[in-house]
Structure 1
């Protein structure tokens, strides 16, 4: 790892600084568990500035995780985007390996808010657009000279700041790929989280940027349905096949989160917004990778959906608008043909 340490020397943080910042890894400062270990919140003095940090401490009980540690450091050191977490540095000292990023999850992860009744349709769309822009940057930005296949897109790796802006994290298994080969298969074992795994991996024996598209499609439906991609003891434990079935049977309104349905009724949200969104999400889940859209197209479609939604502001006189009106408008025959505007 000597070469790696030399390359990232400017990001090294002394262990004693991280210990001080987290009050010696006090239990009170634990804010979560990442795939590699516990995450601590702290205050770190860096370049004369006191900043709030998240410190992911590699679990020393396990021998694994070293490759993932350096992968994440390598990725974050190159990535600069408003919707991706920002690295502060890392510690590799006295058998400790710690990744330090800016604390940007004041509202936790998206997973915690999927069924939040106060998270509006417009807010959800803004989150989706932010994540889509981050993925477009990963897949296509020419400034780096290479693309990145994230391979860990899920509602837990999407963090939310104080303004509900998304910050994509979780780069421990990401892969660098030539920009002109992003659609080419990289030989790999299935990588990712159950419920988000690209079904084509078994067939192609590898991953492409379209594996990220599939996982993002699952997230889009998590946001619409207000439930997680995988619920262990549920009859419909996997969300993806459930939403595909309802979409194809024109019964998608049956599984939209009830609070969202209510918002759409009360606030007279454009059905065009929902149509564009659901069509885009469904296209991401196409079984064959070649049939899934590219992130640039997804960004454009989600921005259109957001634009349509923003045209319909809450109208106080309509707060008691009966829900049956929404249900009537969303009968299977009219869901994707009728538009309010």
Structure 2
């Protein structure tokens, strides 16, 4: 472990600095709670600049999380992508284990699933961003290894001030040789209810296609405006619900109402919606071999976005039409 600490020494941040940044972990600064522990917003002085941060503080109640802590630091210190959260540093002092990352001003995707102001185009951009992040994790050959995330869900997808997706939550990720990403890595069924690959129980392990299944669930969360798992609901599991509606050709019945109104009102996204839903459905295929490659998913979602943008009314057109209308009144 001494070797590990030495390797990441440049990322260490004194506890005193973290306490000052978060106002001694004041409850008013809590921005989320996850399996790792609570996350706090704050402002940290780095290289002469005051920057906004998120500090995830390991909950040591059960004396666990040591491995997960170093797993996340190891992953984030190597990974650099516009759609991944960036590590600023960590604190490992006085029984405190804290991971400090860039701050996401708009919180997690989970908080906005049913947001009536989140447009179809914005939802598509978020989907494309996460898909690109997963493609980078799985197949970036320059890195020499791939990463199986194992924790893709709407709470680990963060949104910055521009609504750009930032994938986080690498504490249970697994590194794997790029040419072995489709091969089973033995693993306990760890993850979040509603997103877990059904094949894990059969094969006793995961592959990169396990991330693809979880991402398919997220895509339908974005489309339907509801969480993957609702404990006391008759349709607890979203994956089961959407598979049924897709196959019965009744998927419009469960699309987020405001989103459905946008599509109906502007008639801009029918083809975009079809490409998107077909892609999401293919990710949920029970057999891993039938699920698409991540690069294909990126390509299809980019098509869906391009199609939506092609038919999106432009502000300048509204201005032009307004002045033409005014001119016609003067004739």
TM-score (norm 1): 0.91
What SS is found at the alignment partner of 1:45? strand
Quote the offset at 1:3 in angstroms: 1.5
Q: In the alignment, which residue of structure 1 is the partner of 2:24?
A: 24
Report if the CA contact (8 A) 1:218-1:285 is conserved: yes
Equivalent in the alignment of 2:224: 225
For residues 20-54 of structure 1, what are the alpha-carbon distances to aligned partners after superposition, in whole Å with 9 as ceiling and x for unaligned?
Answer: 11122122222111321111111111122211111
Task: Give the Cα–Cα distance (whole angstroms) in 2 for the partners of residues 113 and 270 of structure 1.
Answer: 20
CA contact (8 A) 1:267 1:315 kept: no
Between the two proteins, the alignment pairs up a number of residues equal to: 317
CA distance in structure 2 between the partners assigned to 1:138 and 1:209 by the alignment: 9
After TM superposition, the structure 1 stretch with the greater mean CA deviation from structure 2, 267-276 or 206-215, is 267-276
Report the equivalent of 1:15. 15
Segment drifting more, 234-243 vs 55-64 = 55-64
Q: Given the two structures, how large is their TM-score scaled by the length of structure 2?
A: 0.93
Whether 2:13 is the aligned partner of 1:3: answer: no
Answer whether contact 1:44 1:53 (CA < 8 A) is retained. Answer: yes
Q: Which moved more, 1:173-182 or 1:12-21?
A: 12-21
- Matched with 1:235 is 234
Alpha-carbon distance in structure 2 between the residues aligned to 1:165 and 1:219 = 16
Partners of 2:32 and 2:249 in 1: how far apart? 39
Aligned equivalents of 1:156, 1:257: Cα separation in 2: 18
Larger displacement relative to structure 2 (80-89 or 27-36): 27-36
Q: Deviations 1:4-24 (Å, cap 9, x if unpaired)?
A: 101111111111111111122
Task: Find the aligned partners of 2:40 and 2:115 in 1 and give their Cα distance.
Answer: 25
Q: State the Cα distance separating 1:315 from its structure 2 match.
A: 8.0
Aligned match of 1:114? 113
Q: Is the 8 A contact 1:22 1:29 kept in 2?
A: yes
Match of 1:41 in 2: 41
Ranges in structure 1 where 5+ consecutive residues have no aligned partner: 319-341
Q: Secondary structure at the match of 1:143?
A: helix
Higher helix share: 2
CA deviation string 1:219-255 (max 9, x = no partner): 0001111111001111111010111111111111111
3-state SS in 2 of match to 1:263: helix
Which runs of structure 2 are paired with 1:172-211 in the superposition (5 Å)? 172-211=171-210
| Structure 2 runs not aligned, ≥5 long | 319-331
Structure 1 SS opposite 2:32: strand
Mapped partners of 1:142, 1:124: distance in 2: 29
3-state SS of paired residue (1:88): strand
Q: Which residue of 1 aligns with 2:250?
A: 251
What's the secondary structure of 1:44's corresponding residue?
A: strand
Give yes or no for contact 1:145–1:178 (8 Å, CA) kept in 2: yes
How does 1:135-214 map onto structure 2 within 5 Å? 135-214=134-213
